[in-house]
Amino acid sequence: MAELHEAIVIGTGFGGAINACRLSKKWPRGVLVLERGKRYELGAFPRTPHDMARNFWNPAFEKRDRPKAVARIRQHGLFDVRNYKKIDVVLGAGLGGGSLIYANVFLEPPDDVFGGRWPQSCRKVQLLPYYRVCKEVLGARPIPPMQGRRHIVRTELFKEAARRMARESRLVDINVFFGNDFDNPLPPGVQATNRYGALQTSCTYCGECDVGCNYQAKNTLDLNYLYRAENKYGAEIRTEQLVDRMVPVDRNGQDDPDASGEFGYRVYYRDLTRGGAELSAHANRVVVSAGSLGSTELLLRCRDVFATLPRIGRSLGRGFSANGDFLGFVGGTRMPADPNYGPVITQAIDFNLFKDFTADHAFILEDASYPVFGAWFAEGAKPGFFHLDSVWRFLRHLIARLRGDTMGSIGYAFHDLLGGDISYHTCVLLCMGVDKSNGTMTLRDGWLDLDWPQQDSEPLYRAILEVGERFRRETDGAFFFAAPNWWWPFRKNVGVHALGGCILSDDPATGVTSATPATFGQVHGYRNLYVADGAIVPNAVGANPSATISALSEMVAHGITGIEPAADL
């Protein structure tokens, strides 16, 4: 006989962590959580070149296209990088899911994005109570006043660039620990237990948010929702367990693909700590929270490969969005940028998303930082002749004499860029926007494939490129360039905010999961089978999507448990 649980939660990103906590409160010691990745304790994230190279996800049995450097090593690391025809996607694998490597921003999208595909039951006004709860649990707040060690020069640079472009800039709320008292933040590096009992460190401004915080200064999900689920309500969390398939059972607990889920499900999974040995567990209900790609692929395989969930409709896999992700750089700015200091993101500049919404050109531009070891790499990669400072000083003064101050500024920028400190005068432009959300996920040889009609979202990308060039001019930068993935002949997007595939709908013909409040997130055609993660988001939200995924997941949990969510967990 397989183990019997009240609920099994698959995945520990925002959807899985929230449902693990809420369902285990309803059924203490009755929830099993299965996570494919590892558990990362304080100081456990790799930093050396050797360990970083072995920190990617590439199991031997998966047949996927990955970067060559990743594909040559079989490993179960943090970063899951997948290559598709017009887009590459980066996912997180670990206890806490994407929260381990995201940039912490909690940003509610504007009302304008909740049209079209969004059912009436989950528009912005219905989600507001859930946004409020999530924001409090995740400790979202702007950076403390920039004094002393907390001074971040790139924040000032971006605010000044916004002013010159006549655009609105604001500090964003970020899920970062500065102490439990918002009005009296702890000094950087001071440790304290958070309101849920987990040990954290007041942010050290190291810029390493996106590669895993070794100080536990990020309010990642293993330090709040998951921590409470495990330590207060007795949820059993098993890491390095990869789910293969689910099958409904009959009243006798036997596998029955013709059943509709009224008697629960058996979940089959691989124990990666034991060479992939197959195990199974039985639960009265299952919440699938493996992310947009993971949840969609799991349901596709159950329907089309294993034939265990044959009732799922043809809408499965449709509506993929990369949330308009686009990355660019401006180098050689006159004013210092210092992108190696501070939380990864501190502010956002609005371009027709929150004000004067324009569907084809709606996006935000956020500042970004990267770890110091990235700066050392950039400096070490410079050719030796770029260090001939005397040559650059001569050319700078010569240009200034011949062409005046403007050209002198350009010469100065090139001097700093090529002869001096590259990173200190480089701005990272991180953009998100409203793309067409019309990608399609299918199976190819039994594994997920993604068709991304990039050309349909070209107006958005062109608008972003134009703003990048203008940002360069307003900051006296030497040049602007998009990330190398966009260069010819690659011309690919890179997505870190995958959405869609199991979208919410009132009608099974137009979506995969129910938008009816009592069965919110439940898969059409089945009982007691839910999806709670980015897969259910109907279209791009433009803003960083973790807040919206969290709010929707709280709504799913509310429907399952009947318990009004509160921040005290």
Q: Within a domain: residue 516?
A: yes
pLDDT score for 340? 94
**What percentage of the chain reaches a pLDDT higher than 90?**
87
CB 77 within 8 A of CB 93: yes
Contacts of 266 by beta carbon, 8 Å cutoff, 6+ apart: 2, 246, 247, 249, 253, 255, 280, 281, 282
pLDDT score for 402? 54
User: Do 265 and 389 lie in a common domain?
Assistant: no
Given phi > 0 = left and psi -120 to 50 = alpha, else beta, which region is 97? Answer: left
What is the DSSP annotation of 257-302?
A: TT--STT-EEEEEEEGGGTTEEEEEEEEEEEE-SHHHHHHHHHHHH
pLDDT score for 177? 98
Compute how many other C-beta atoms are within 10 angstroms of the C-beta atom of residue 522.
Answer: 23
pLDDT score for 399? 56
**What percentage of the chain reaches a pLDDT higher than 70?**
92
Residue 57 CA to its chain's centroid (Å) = 16
Statement: residue 413 has pLDDT above 70? no
Q: Which of 65-79, 370-384, 473-487, 526-540 has the lowest mean pLDDT?
A: 370-384
Q: Within a domain: residue 404?
A: yes
User: Do 243 and 389 lie in a common domain?
Assistant: no
Containing H/E element for 310?
Answer: none
Q: Within a domain: residue 567?
A: no
CB 11 within 8 A of CB 267: no
Containing H/E element for 38?
Answer: none
Q: Which of 155-159, 259-263, 376-380, 448-452 has the lowest mean pLDDT?
A: 376-380
Q: Within a domain: residue 569?
A: no
pLDDT band at 390 (very low <50, low <70, confident <90, very high): very low
CATH no. for residue 21? 3.50.50.60
User: Do 133 and 177 lie in a common domain?
Assistant: yes
| pLDDT tens string 268-316 | 999 999 999 999 999 999 999 999 999 999 999 999 999 999 999 999 9
| pLDDT tens string 488-523 | 888 999 999 999 999 999 999 999 999 999 999 999
User: Do 295 and 358 lie in a common domain?
Assistant: yes
User: Do 204 and 219 lie in a common domain?
Assistant: yes
User: Do 244 and 298 lie in a common domain?
Assistant: yes
- What integer best gives the mean pLDDT of the chain? 93
User: Do 362 and 415 lie in a common domain?
Assistant: no
Containing H/E element for 126?
Answer: helix 124-137
| pLDDT tens string 40-63 | 999 999 999 899 999 999 999 999
pLDDT band at 332 (very low <50, low <70, confident <90, very high): confident
pLDDT, average across residues 158-174? 97
Q: Within a domain: residue 568?
A: no
Beta bridge partners of 427: 330
pTM recorded for the entire structure: 0.94
User: Do 35 and 91 lie in a common domain?
Assistant: yes
Which range of residues forms the domain containing residue 359?
3-375+428-561
User: Do 236 and 323 lie in a common domain?
Assistant: yes
pLDDT, average across residues 65-83? 94
User: Do 505 and 409 lie in a common domain?
Assistant: no
The total of structural domains in the chain comes to 2
Q: Last residue of a domain, which of 421, 448, 481?
A: 421
pLDDT score for 334? 86
Residue 45's closest CA among 80, 91, 77? 77
Residue 514's closest CA among 498, 526, 496? 526
Statement: residue 406 has pLDDT above 70? no
User: Do 404 and 298 lie in a common domain?
Assistant: no
- The residue whose two tokens read 């660039």 is 161
User: Do 59 and 181 lie in a common domain?
Assistant: yes
Q: Within a domain: residue 527?
A: yes
Beta bridge partners of 88: 83, 494
| pLDDT tens string 195-214 | 999 999 999 999 999 999 99
Compute how many other C-beta atoms are within 10 angstroms of the C-beta atom of residue 550.
Answer: 30
Statement: residue 419 has pLDDT above 70? no
| pLDDT tens string 221-269 | 999 999 999 999 999 999 999 999 999 999 999 999 999 999 999 999 9
pLDDT band at 479 (very low <50, low <70, confident <90, very high): confident
pLDDT band at 331 (very low <50, low <70, confident <90, very high): confident
